[in-house]
């Protein structure tokens, strides 16, 4: 009876040695895989040209909604996105070239193509600024689950626009992949882009 535990242990070790290697871990799914975010659109770019979602086919996209008259968060977020992309351009230019940063206004009344051109060119030379009719902006904002609402008029006629604040990384077929940490640090934004751009 004393030899039985030793025999059983030896048998278990032999069986363990014969078992195949554990299966390799499946590649991680992007956090937004399968989410109903994004969709077709036709808007106007900063050069006055009509642009649709199909014009970006085959490219990864960073999509951010904001407005040029925003007094605080929008310029900081867009600056961080542009700077993170420049960081990637230095370390991996081929990867960075496959990513298009897109800024879509939620304030089409003031953000004309000319205003957008001045704004986006300050943050990245390849950044695309998009505007359109209020109806077109409402439709694309809905596709991307973006809340936006014009606030009360201020003295002098100005106003703020309340809006959701997220930067989406979208895949080459327009599929949602991940939210970017647009507040930085720049390395974290670049790392998230690098993680999902293949």
pLDDT in tens, 37-58: 999 999 999 999 999 999 999 9
163 annotated to a ligand binding site: yes
Residue 18, Cα to own-chain centre: how many angstroms? 46
pLDDT of 180 above 90: yes
User: Which among 100, 101, 106 has a CA at the least distance from the CA of 79?
Assistant: 101
Question: Which residue did the predictor score with more confidence, 14 or 91?
Answer: 91
Asked if the structure places residue 160 within a domain, the reply is yes
> Omega of the bond prior to 185 within 30 degrees of 0, cis?
yes
Asked if the structure places residue 6 within a domain, the reply is no
The CATH number of the domain holding residue 149 is 3.40.30.10
pLDDT of 187 above 80: yes
Give the contacts of 135 (CB within 8 A, at least 6 positions apart).
none
148 annotated to a ligand binding site: no
74 annotated to a ligand binding site: yes
Do 164 and 146 touch, CB atoms closer than 8 A? yes
Domain count, the chain: 1
Asked if the structure places residue 126 within a domain, the reply is yes
Asked if the structure places residue 16 within a domain, the reply is no
Asked if the structure places residue 7 within a domain, the reply is no
Asked if the structure places residue 166 within a domain, the reply is yes
Q: What is the pLDDT of residue 183?
A: 81
Tokens of 195: 């993680």
Q: What is the pLDDT of residue 128?
A: 98
pLDDT in tens, 16-43: 444 455 555 556 899 999 999 999 999 9
Asked if the structure places residue 130 within a domain, the reply is yes
- What whole-number distance in Å separates Cα of residue 57 and Cα of residue 70? 30
Do 42 and 136 touch, CB atoms closer than 8 A? yes
pLDDT in tens, 98-113: 999 999 999 999 999 9
Token match 């902006």: residue? 137
- Segments forming the whole domain that contains residue 181: 31-196
What pTM does this model have?
A: 0.85
Q: What is the 3-state secondary structure (H, E, C) of 87-106?
A: HHHHHCHHHHCCEEEEEEEC
Asked if the structure places residue 12 within a domain, the reply is no
């Amino acid at each position: 009876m004393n030899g039985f535990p030793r025999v059983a242990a030896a048998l278990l070790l032999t069986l363990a040695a014969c078992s195949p290697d554990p299966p390799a871990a499946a590649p991680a799914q992007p956090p937004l895989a399968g989410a109903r975010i994004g969709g077709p659109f036709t808007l106007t770019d900063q050069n006055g040209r009509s642009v649709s979602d199909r014009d970006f086919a085959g490219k990864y996209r960073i999509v951010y909604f904001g407005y040029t008259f925003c007094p605080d968060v929008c310029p900081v977020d867009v600056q961080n996105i542009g700077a993170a992309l420049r960081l990637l351009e230095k370390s991996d230019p081929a990867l960075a070239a496959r990513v298009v940063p897109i800024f879509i206004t939620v304030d089409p009344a003031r953000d004309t193509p000319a205003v957008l051109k001045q704004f986006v060119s300050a943050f990245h030379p390849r950044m695309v600024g998009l505007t359109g009719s209020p109806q077109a902006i409402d439709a694309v904002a809905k596709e991307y689950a973006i809340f936006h609402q014009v606030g009360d008029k201020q003295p002098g006629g100005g106003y703020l626009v309340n809006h959701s604040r997220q930067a989406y990384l979208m895949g080459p077929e327009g599929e949602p992949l991940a939210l970017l940490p647009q507040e930085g640090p720049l390395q974290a934004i670049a790392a998230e882009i690098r993680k999902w751009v293949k």
